[in-house]
Amino acid sequence: MSAFIISGYGFGGFGFGLLINHLFNPDNVKFQYEEGCTDPTKCNKFLPKEVGDRLPYAFMVLIIIYSSLILVGTSLIKNAPAEPESIELLDAENNGEEVVAEGKDSIIPYITSRKFIHVYLLVLNYLFYGFFFGTTYKVIGKNTINDDHFLSIIGAVSLLCSALCKFGFATSIDYVGFKRPFAVVSIVYLLCVLFMKTAVQYKSSYFFIVVLSYCCDGAISSMMPALIFKMFGNINGARVYSYLYSVYFASTLSFMIAMAFQGKSENYDNLIFISVITTSI
């Protein structure tokens, strides 16, 4: 069930990715060098002002869509039916009996355990490349692939494939365990980082690399809930995973710090080097 829910992030990104590109750049306006550029090798490329002028209209459409989805989703929420065990506990409480909830011991020993710290650092390292490439794949591709629609389609298809990988890899843990799927994802992830700058020279190869990168990122994020529940049990697993989820904040913060040192330069060799290290550990 968790695999199905997590895969929704990818399915949503597929539809909204294409919609947002159509709202902002329906005519597929090409990237242009910044005004006053005399040396193209030292200048950045930007979409022209006419694309930016569509921002208020695009935001208005998105706000209407998001608000409608929130209203529909909220109206469909209802409490789950009580399970027999829950009914028994409720009856015991109403009769004045002492009820001891299972698994409600202190969370501290779990989140300070070696295996939790190991998983936390593992996810932290792998998410760095995911945040880096997920936010810069268009910037990296725009100089050699000057086609905004194509780059948006890459992102949308990648999110769709990521959703499928989330569902598949999260389910695979129940049948083949964690080590073998994770080993496959790790190798593919590292190859994507190493060949990214070579692949960007051609549309087909860049499409392949971006899709694989998103698939690996989705697979890693989806395997974590299942892994944590296997390691810590159903009751404590939910509590432990709520702490593991903070790794997204830690990874985002590390990426923001790295980007601060990067400055305005679009030469991402340093961040690629960091990504190679983090995915190799």
Which of 128, 117, 80, 100 shows the shortest CA–CA distance to 240? 117
In angstroms and rounded to an integer, the radius of gyration of the C-alpha atoms of the chain is 23
Identity of the residue numbered 236: N
**Interior/surface letters 74-108, b for 16+ CB within 10 angstroms, e for the rest:** eeeeeeeeeeeeeeebeeeeeeeeeeeeeeeeeee
Residue 152 in tokens: 């948006």
| pLDDT tens digits for range 46-90 | 777 888 888 888 889 889 998 998 899 889 887 766 555 444 444
Q: Phi first, then psi: what are they for 266, rounded to 5°?
A: -100, 15
Which of 270, 249, 128 shows the shortest CA–CA distance to 189? 128
The reported pTM is 0.72
| pLDDT tens digits for range 180-236 | 888 898 899 899 999 988 898 899 999 999 999 988 888 888 888 888 888 888 778
Identity of the residue numbered 16: F
DSSP states of 73-118 as a string?
HHHH--PPPPPHHHHHHHHHHHTT-----TT-S-SHHHHTSHHHHH
